[in-house]
Structure 1
Amino acid sequence: MKQLFWLLLLLPAAGWAQQAPKKPIPYDSAHFSWRKPVPRNRLRELQPDRPGVTESPFTVDAGHAQLEMDLLRLVNNGSKNTEREREWKYAYTLFKLGLSRRTDLQLEVPLYKVAKQRPAEASDWQQRQAGFGDVTLRVKHNFVGDDQEGKFAMAVIGFARLPTGGRVGGGGMEYGLVLPTDLELSDNANLEVQLETDLNYDREEGRRFVRLMPSVAVEYDFTEKVGLIGEAVGQWNTQQRRWQASLNFAPIFKVTKNLQLDAGTHLAMNRLSDHEYFVGFTVRR
């Protein structure tokens, strides 16, 4: 009788254990590197840094490459004294290579840029420069949450921008650090918070200045294929000593596990902020 009692007591628990969904066990990424790639059937969810200003704290799987590209981006610069500026960016590309468990190497290649300037009172663009932009070298290292198992993830991105763009570039070396974080709010929603600090160069004044750029974004997936990012971005620098602000919106279309399309806009909230429109994609191999 005692054995029968314990058997009846354990039956419901055994039935629940059989019905409960099994959480996928992540691979031990320490066993893989750029020389020994992670098997394709064990890749994590695609997590690009685009389309918003707020980047992802997740790295590319070891041994795999990822390409993120602005096919086209139009930037109407905020007013600077009495001058108006407009930029067209074509095929601005970010190449990524997963090096190890928590680190990837990135190369930003701005293939073609057209910059125009004119006085505010003029109706025609009076100056025009076009050509290859400034190449940027970047390294991302994740500190926590790169296995996508927990609710929180954090990383650091360090970069150096080389003055390869001639008249369409910044004109001098630029450096920066980015601290992106991600908090999973639910199965469909994530909160992303980031702080970026840069040492930029002003070609006209021939000196450097510091820029701080905090941002916060919410990503919500309506379905497995369609999502939306809403983002608020602020900027302050030691040159203008005034805050700039924008609200950014970008729908995301997850075509496959390794291909994502996006488009969006940055809405200027004051006169100094840029107004942008863009369309792009991310692909992983």
Structure 2
Amino acid sequence: MKKIILLLIIATVTQSDAFSQTETQKKYTLFNPVPREKMRDMSTDRPDITESPNSVDAGHFQIETDLFKTTRNKSNGITSIENNYNLANLKLGLTHNTDLQLVVGTYVNSYEKDAVDKKFNTSSGFGDLTIRIKHNLWGNDGSKTAFALMPYINLPTSKENKNIEGGIVFPLSVDLGNDFGFGTQVQVDVLKSVQKSGYHAGILQSVVLGKELTKSLETFVESYYNYDFEDKKFDLSFNGGFGYSVTKNLKFDAGFNLGLTKNTDKVYFIGFSFRY
């Protein structure tokens, strides 16, 4: 944590002049879109857990979705499985440095099964809806570092959830040169308490290293942990995957999240990102 705080301070000092926008940047809005020839390179929050600090260009739309994502967890002989179909993040660029995001669980199927594969507690339908706003503080236009704030609120639109929760994400990226990129984030969650009334805190911290193998193909390795202050539970995962850019506005990806601690989820997914 101390190293990340130090990195943030260094990046703030070196990029302090990036807080001011030019008049050209200010004029582009949702209703006055950035011309297509002036758009930045597409930046996505997927496929890793670590979010990108870069926002969608003003007046443009971007979809990032898990075409299929399966989450598995085994505890005390019971296997819990959740399958997401088209778990989509719909993004809309509002200003030069800010976008609005709606994360929609289009269709979710979940169930549990015992040692003889007998299914129970089966549920299916629409998932939760998460509203996020990403505001880039610096580095949106190709600096060596970039940093953003992204508050979010999760609305219980699924059958299984009845609680409103939220939090804020602080993503940072660093261009290491030689086609290597480093990213990290700290995420603070406000979670509904189960053992008592009210809410409690959770924290997620991640680090990711990406490498551009060719102009179209990239890969990454990542690790992150979750800590729940109510349950005193610590989860650690190792992640990996790749992305393939068909065009500058269309990219497919696939990857995995493997739990390294006991009873931590194992996740496998395939998806794509498209910008218009």
Task: Classify the TM-score, shorter chain.
Answer: 0.7 to 0.9
Aligned CA distance change for structure 1 residues 78 and 174 (closer, same or farther; 3 Å): farther
**Structure-2 change in CA distance of 1:209 and 1:76 (3 Å):** farther
From the superposition, tell whether residues 249 and 140 of structure 1 become closer, same or farther in structure 2 (CA, over 3 Å).
Answer: same
Could you tell me how far 1:27 is from its partner in structure 2? Answer: 9.6
- For residue 91 of structure 2, the aligned residue among 79, 90, 96 is 96
In structure 1, the residue matched to 2:152 is: 159
- Give the alignment's TM-score, normalised by structure 1: 0.85
Identity across matched positions, percent: 32
Q: Is the 8 A contact 1:171 1:202 kept in 2?
A: no
Q: What is the Cα deviation at residue 239 of structure 1?
A: 3.0
- Contact kept? 1:171, 1:203, Cα under 8 Å: no
| CA apart distance, 1:187 | 4.2
Cα distance per residue 1:45-69 (max 9 Å; x no partner): 1101001110100000011000001
Q: Which residue of 2 aligns with 1:36?
A: 32
**1:202 CA drift (Å):** 5.7
**Partner in structure 1 of residue 127 of structure 2:** 133
- SS for the counterpart of 1:28 is helix
- One-letter amino acid of the structure 1 residue matched with residue 248 of structure 2: K
1:271 shift after superposition: 1.4
Residue number in structure 1 paired with 2:3: none
Structure 2: gaps of 5 or more residues: 1-21
Q: Alignment RMSD, CA only?
A: 1.9
* 1:82 shift after superposition: 6.1
Is the 1:171–1:201 contact (alpha carbons within 8 Å) kept by the matching residues of 2?
Answer: no
Task: Give the distance between the partners of 2:190 and 2:124, measured in 1 at CA.
Answer: 24
Cα pair 2:32 2:59 within 8 Å, conserved: yes
Task: Name the SS of the counterpart of 2:26 in structure 1.
Answer: helix
May I ask how many residue pairs the two structures share in their alignment? 255
Spell out the pairing of 1:1-285 with structure 2 (5 A cutoff). Answer: 28-77=24-73, 79=75, 83-118=78-113, 121=115, 123-148=117-142, 150-167=143-160, 170-201=161-192, 208-285=199-276
Partner amino acid, structure 1, of 2:268: Y
Give the superposition deviation at 1:200.
2.1
Q: Per-residue deviation at 1:205?
A: 7.1
Distance in 2, matches of 1:173 and 1:130, equals 20
Q: Which secondary structure state, in structure 1, belongs to the residue aligned with residue 44 of structure 2? A: coil
- Larger gyration radius, structure 1 or structure 2: 1
| Letter of the 1:56 counterpart | S
Aligned counterparts of 1:56 and 1:276: Cα–Cα separation in 2: 20
Query: Does the residue aligned with 1:116 lie in a helix, a strand or coil?
Result: strand
User: Does the residue aligned with 2:233 lie in a helix, a strand or coil?
Assistant: coil
Give the match for residue 5 of structure 1: none
Question: Residue 270 of structure 1: CA displacement?
Answer: 1.4
Change (3 A) 1:264 1:35: same
Q: Distance in 1 between matches of 2:159 and 2:258?
A: 29
Q: Is the 8 A contact 1:78 1:275 kept in 2?
A: no
Give 2:184's aligned amino acid: V
Paired with 2:216 and 2:79, the residues of 1 have a C-alpha distance of 39
TM-score by length of structure 2 reads: 0.87
Tell me the distance in 2 between the aligned counterparts of 1:109 and 1:35. Answer: 24
Runs of 4+ in structure 1 deviating by more than 6 angstroms, as ranges, are 203-206
Q: Which runs of 5+ in 1 are unaligned?
A: 1-25
2:16 aligns to what? none
Task: Check conservation: 1:172, 1:203, Cα contact below 8 A.
Answer: no
